[in-house]
């Protein structure tokens, strides 16, 4: 995709109000344009048919709605849809739409890549490239909303895609504020979950500034030695500091905490690991989300056996821990964060095949429906 010098209409500092004034247009047109974008799911300014044609042409010349193109669009039999988006600078990110009953949940990315280094996650294999802008985060929401029929709307947001959300709060929080706004997507803050590997200073900032979100902390181990092996950034933090910051967030928000635990065969899945985890979490108003690992070609980790998983969960439940085992959704279309981007890079040197080349910004993508099993990443950042 070519870089553009026009202003991105989804950025907070888009200058739309000043532009309208300079062009002799009433201020209320800004709200009308937003309504077209968020409620009307307009693909282009040409779709905004209640605006004068001359105004639409001038907007087209000075602003851009889409800075991404859809490089790949995959659908799974369970209704999950995944987009691989190419950004204006050529980098790629992923976002997912999950259907579960009446819920329409989207999982979005906050960074290109990830610096946290979780050893089992595809997102961070090549490290972090850059933060996403507010507009790029909002654009994922609008891209996914356009996958729904007109009578459906997005109901939940989970910031569990590529990147560490709390490392990009300056851009993430304005995007989520727009998602909540009545003139935006109108999604209740209580239906928005932010995931984190556990960065205490950023957790404390969220506690002080806006503790209304649901917070999910990725643990994966209950002791520093094992957690540092699996989550290298833990070496400079420590489990105790992460849990203390989580407690402070709970005290400010009153929202039940969620702790996430990817279960790796013969690594962190023994009864003793479960006992340590029960001691760590015990006494908190919390949900433990256990996520059995899905093997991935080229990575050394393996799925826990059914017996190991049941023993692990049994120990936790006996200790009074509220446990949920994450159901797999979209595994046949590589719906876990970073996986589709990684496979595309491996097979095409980070360029899509000709049959799935990025489409023009004003066109819908070619899509495919998953029909065969492909290498899978654990759905450690994919919510129900």
Give me the pLDDT at residue 341, please.
Answer: 52
Active site residue 94: yes
Tokens standing for 146?
């356009």
Find the distance separating the first CA and the last CA of the chain, reported in whole Å: 32
Mean pLDDT, residues 212-230 taken together: 98
Tokens standing for 371?
């029909």
Tokens standing for 194?
């932010």
Reply yes or no on whether the pLDDT at 123 is more than 60: yes
Tokens standing for 331?
């595994």
Rounded-to-integer distance, Cα 174 and Cα 314, Å: 41
Give the domain 69-369 fold: TIM Barrel (3.20.20)
User: Out of 11, 94, 136, 139, which one is annotated catalytic?
Assistant: 94
Q: Which of 377, 293, 289 is nearest to 333 (CA)?
A: 377
The pTM for the full model equals 0.87
Active site residue 337: yes
Rounded-to-integer distance, Cα 384 and Cα 194, Å: 14
User: Out of 107, 114, 121, 337, which one is annotated catalytic?
Assistant: 337
**Using 50, 70 and 90 to split pLDDT, how confident is the model at 294?**
confident
Mean pLDDT, residues 326-350 taken together: 55
Rounded-to-integer distance, Cα 144 and Cα 162, Å: 16
Burial 211-224 (b: 16+ CB within 10 A, else e): bebbbbbbbbbbee
Reply yes or no on whether the pLDDT at 291 is more than 60: yes
Rounded-to-integer distance, Cα 110 and Cα 127, Å: 14
Indicate the helix (H) or strand (E) that contains 239.
Answer: helix 239-253
Q: What is the dihedral of CA 121, 115, 84, 219, to 10 degrees?
A: 40
> What is the overall mean pLDDT for the chain?
88
The ranges of the chain annotated as CATH 1.10.150.530 are 7-64
The ranges of the chain annotated as CATH 3.20.20.70 are 69-369
Residue 291: which region, alpha, beta or left (left: phi > 0; alpha: psi -120 to 50)? beta
What is the architecture, at CATH level 2, of domain 7-64? Orthogonal Bundle (1.10)
């Amino acid at each position: 995709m070519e870089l553009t010098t026009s202003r991105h209409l989804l950025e907070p500092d888009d200058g739309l109000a000043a532009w309208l004034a300079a062009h002799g247009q009433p201020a209320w047109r800004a709200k009308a344009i937003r309504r077209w974008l968020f409620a009307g799911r307009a693909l282009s300014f040409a779709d905004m048919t209640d605006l004068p044609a001359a105004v639409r042409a001038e907007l087209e010349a000075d602003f851009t709605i889409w800075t991404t193109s859809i490089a790949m669009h995959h659908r799974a039999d369970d209704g999950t849809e995944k987009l691989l988006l190419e950004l204006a600078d050529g980098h790629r990110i992923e976002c997912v739409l999950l259907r579960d009953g009446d819920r329409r949940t989207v999982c979005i990315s906050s960074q290109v890549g990830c610096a946290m280094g979780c050893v089992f996650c595809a997102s961070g294999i090549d490290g972090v490239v850059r933060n996403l802008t507010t507009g790029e985060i909002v654009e994922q929401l609008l891209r996914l909303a356009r996958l729904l029929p007109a009578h459906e709307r997005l109901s939940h947001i989970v910031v569990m895609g590529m990147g560490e959300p709390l490392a990009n709060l300056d851009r993430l929080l304005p995007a989520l504020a727009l998602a909540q706004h009545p003139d935006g997507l109108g999604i209740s803050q209580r239906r928005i979950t932010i995931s984190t590997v556990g960065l205490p200073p950023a957790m404390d900032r969220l506690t002080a500034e806006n503790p209304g979100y649901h917070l999910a902390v990725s643990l994966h181990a209950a002791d520093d030695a094992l957690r540092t092996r699996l989550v290298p950034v833990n070496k400079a933090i420590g489990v105790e500091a992460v849990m203390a910051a989580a407690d402070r967030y709970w005290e400010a928000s009153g929202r039940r905490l969620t702790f996430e635990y990817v279960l790796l065969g013969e690594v962190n899945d023994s009864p003793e690991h479960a006992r340590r985890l029960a001691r760590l979490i015990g006494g908190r108003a919390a949900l433990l989300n256990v996520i059995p690992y899905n093997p991935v070609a080229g990575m050394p980790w393996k799925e826990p056996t059914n017996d190991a998983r049941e023993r692990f969960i049994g120990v936790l439940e006996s200790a009074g821990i509220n446990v949920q085992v994450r159901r797999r959704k979209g595994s046949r279309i590589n719906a876990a964060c970073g996986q589709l981007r990684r496979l595309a890079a491996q097979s095409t040197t980070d360029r899509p095949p000709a049959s799935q080349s990025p489409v023009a910004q004003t066109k819908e993508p070619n899509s495919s429906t998953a029909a065969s099993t492909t290498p899978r990443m654990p759905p450690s950042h994919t919510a129900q």
